[in-house]
Chains A and B, each alone.
Chain A
Amino acid sequence: MNIEMPNFLLALPEIFVLGMTCVLLVIDLFLKQQDRYLTYLLALFTLLVAAVLTLYGDSGERQITFNGSYVADSMSHVLKLGVYFAVFVVFVYAKDYLRDRNMFKGEFYILGLFGMLGMMIMISAHSLLTLYLGLELLSLSLYAMVALQRDSIHASEAAMKYFVLGAIASGMLLYGMSMIYGVTGTLQLDSIAERAVSGDRTLLAFGLVFLLVGMAFKLGAVPFHMWVPDVYHGAPTAVTLYIGSAPKIAAFAMLVRLLVDGMIDLHDQWQGILIILAVLSMAVGNIVAIAQTNLKRMLAYSTISHVGFLILGILTGTQSGFSASMFYALAYVLMALGGFGMIILLSRKGFEGDKLDDFKGLNRRSSWYAFMMLILMFSMAGVPPFLGFWAKLAVLQEVVAADMLWLAIVGVVFSVIGVFYYLRIVKLMYFDEPNSEEALQCSTDMRLLISANALMVLGIGLFPGALMAVCTAAFS
């Protein structure tokens, strides 16, 4: 019996993160509450080392190991770095928020790291099985994190909804995977791509539909978006920040792995479904967001509309379309981190700054942070020269290049509608009287990081070439 030894070095970041998280789990057990920041620092340290390992492990070529269930390519490296960055920012933003609410426990960081491990596995998945397991690892950590605030009825309700709908979505996904396995007889994505050419089209299409339904649930694309606003609203803001940022990168990776690596041959079949998902998401997301009075809910609907844009890039089925979509995913995550971060900045002990009214007259209270929020909102709305504009432009260009001019027009129309609710926040901050004149209170690291975050949105918006080049290189 011959066993081919897997190349463990390729998966070094995953192995390191898993090992460190287990170490952290044990260390945290023996820490007193006042020493808890050690867990936090070690979690940040883990992220930094994982980033270094990923950077140095990048050989520039596509390598597959673990008997075809793990792939390391340039896309996986870039996306993993994006995930580390997002989780790092989430951990820093969340620190004060958690401490003020008696939630500063090791579990948040441990579950956060395990969730990140799930995302890394999804990003590097090369078989249906690892993709599914990575997704479950991520989802399970997220369910627990949403429910972490046990005494809050809203959080428990959100966790319950998320859990039930997530389980249905996983069921759909598995059903689709089993059909595809039935037709092709393999779990590995590249063999699926080979055998799909000669496979039974009807069965493959059925499997594909179930896969897409499951993925649309996880992405939060309309009409499978019902859980998004409730979960974003009900979860503690620190957890909303986590759910709203890094998993979008993983979801993008999941779409690319399944549809592009595995079933590019069925492009004409999944394109139609994705068009419906994208148009509905942009429509419902942008229009319903107008009616929201809670910023977390509003950002949830805005997420739905951004997911629509993300799908637009993928459905073109071209390499440049995928890189535009990847640029969009990374840009969106950066903006979402800032947006939810501002809610945390406005919150203090016993007070959640998550209503639109809380942003009234922010300019009078702190003109610098009002300006930061202005950058973030303009960027989400897609106003040049901010990052969000380039992301939208890149995706729309690809849609036009794929001869779907009407779809690009629909996208533009709905993003113009979307501008309304982003600009309403700017109006509230600059032209309305504040409800309270209280100065913002938060720690220096949070202030520095959120300023850096917003300035990055501006900076990359002024010079989008570098990030764009990275995304283009990932798909060539």
Chain B
Amino acid sequence: MGFEKIIFYLFSALLIMSASMVITVRNPVKAALFLVLSFFACAVVWLLMEAEFLAIVLVLVYVGAVMVLFLFVVMMLDINIERLRAGFISYLPVGIVVALMMAGMLIWIVSGDGSAFNNSVTHNADYSNTRELGRVLYTDFLYSFEIAAVILLVAIIAAISLTLRRRPNTKHQKIENQIAVKRNERVRMVKMKAEEKK
């Protein structure tokens, strides 16, 4: 257990540190990168809980795809940090109250009766939770799985219908016309007398 505990505390500390950096650093690009780090630390903690499939999906989907897209957006937008930070002090008291309430509640729940949280199941090395997930996903949770698919379809439709614009007067290249162009459509020979030297 010793090694596992070291890993747990190491990556939990990393998770908390990087998560707090996400909201405190000034540079949004750095914040996004810290979010990547916190996802990664979180994935390691999940691995310790034997949720291998979820851990790998977290790295592949969130770190690999979502956060990279996010970084692109952050880099392309011109975000004015000073304006974003303007309300920080005025919202701080409310934020602290909410955070304290949440923390207090979590502590109360966890410390109240810990027995509910100690019954985690351990499996042998040959147990594949990918297969187990797949098995329930396509049988017990078939209905929910289908609905989730429909939600994704709606997301696609919504995104396209909100962003697709056909503007008739935008300027763009017409390659077939460019290739078919003849010399005399572009170059005009002008005959003129050479200037005489005086």
Q: Which of B7-15, B16-24, B46-54, B136-144 contacts A (4 or more CB under 8 A)?
A: B136-144
B147 close to A133 (CB less than 8 A): yes
B105: A residues at CB distance < 8 A: 206
A140 close to B161 (CB less than 8 A): no
Least CB distance from B170 to A in Å reads 16
A137 close to B116 (CB less than 8 A): no
With beta carbons under 8 angstroms apart, the residue of B116, B140, B143, B157 that contacts A144 is B157
Least CB distance from B82 to A in Å reads 22
A121 close to B147 (CB less than 8 A): yes
A200 to B144, CA, bound (A): 28
A67 to B153, CA, bound (A): 24
Residue A9, interface by CB 8 Å: no
Residue A143, interface by CB 8 Å: yes
A137: B residues at CB distance < 8 A: 147, 150-151, 154
Least CB distance from A332 to B in Å reads 26
Known interface pairs A1-B135, A137-B150; A111-B158 also in contact (CB < 8 Å):
yes
A202 close to B112 (CB less than 8 A): yes
A86 to B197, CA, bound (A): 90
**A140, closest chain B residue (CB):** B154
Count A interface residues, CB 8 Å: 39
B108: A residues at CB distance < 8 A: 202
**A182, closest chain B residue (CB):** B116
Known interface pairs A66-B143, A107-B157, A137-B151; A144-B109 also in contact (CB < 8 Å):
no
**B119, closest chain A residue (CB):** A185
A129: B residues at CB distance < 8 A: 141, 144
Least CB distance from A123 to B in Å reads 13
Interface string of B146-160 (1 = CB under 8 A from A): 011011011101100
Residue A203, interface by CB 8 Å: yes
A219 to B139, CA, bound (A): 33
B157 close to A133 (CB less than 8 A): no
Known interface pairs A67-B139, A67-B140, A111-B157; A150-B162 also in contact (CB < 8 Å):
yes
Least CB distance from B140 to A in Å reads 5
Residue B113, interface by CB 8 Å: yes
Residue A228, interface by CB 8 Å: no
B150: A residues at CB distance < 8 A: 18, 114, 117, 137
A69 close to B155 (CB less than 8 A): no
**A108, closest chain B residue (CB):** B161
A134 to B116, CA, bound (A): 30
- Give the number of A-B contacts (CB < 8 Å): 80
Least CB distance from A288 to B in Å reads 23
Least CB distance from B133 to A in Å reads 14
Considering only residues 148-196 of chain A, those with a C-beta below 8 Å from chain B are 148, 150, 179, 182-183
B144: A residues at CB distance < 8 A: 69, 127, 129-130, 133
Considering only residues 1-35 of chain A, those with a C-beta below 8 Å from chain B are 1, 3, 6, 11, 18, 22, 25
Known interface pairs A141-B158, A144-B158, A183-B116; A133-B139 also in contact (CB < 8 Å):
no
Residue A447, interface by CB 8 Å: no
With beta carbons under 8 angstroms apart, the residue of A18, A25, A203 that contacts B109 is A203
A150 to B164, CA, bound (A): 11
Considering only residues 340-377 of chain A, those with a C-beta below 8 Å from chain B are none
A1: B residues at CB distance < 8 A: 135
With beta carbons under 8 angstroms apart, the residue of A18, A107, A183 that contacts B161 is A107
A150 to B161, CA, bound (A): 10
Known interface pairs A203-B109, A206-B109; A140-B155 also in contact (CB < 8 Å):
yes
Least CB distance from A111 to B in Å reads 7
Residue A70, interface by CB 8 Å: yes
B141 close to A141 (CB less than 8 A): no
Interface string of B3-47 (1 = CB under 8 A from A): 000000000000000000000000000000000000000000000
With beta carbons under 8 angstroms apart, the residue of A66, A110, A140 that contacts B142 is A66
Question: A6-B142, A107-B161, A134-B147 are known contacts; what are 17 more A-B pairs with Cβ within 8 Å?
Answer: A67-B142, A67-B143, A69-B143, A117-B150, A129-B141, A130-B144, A130-B147, A133-B148, A137-B154, A141-B158, A144-B161, A147-B162, A148-B161, A150-B162, A200-B116, A202-B108, A203-B112
Instruction: Pick the 10 closest A-B CB pairs, nearest first.
Output: A144-B158, A66-B143, A133-B147, A107-B161, A67-B140, A129-B144, A69-B143, A3-B139, A114-B154, A137-B151
Residues of A within 8 A of B (CB): 1, 3, 6, 11, 18, 22, 25, 66-67, 69-70, 105, 107, 110-111, 114, 117, 121, 127, 129-130, 133-134, 136-137, 140-141, 143-144, 147-148, 150, 179, 182-183, 200, 202-203, 206
In the complex, 6 of the A-B residue pairs with CB atoms within 8 angstroms, ordered by the A residue number, are A6-B143, A18-B150, A22-B153, A66-B142, A69-B141, A110-B157
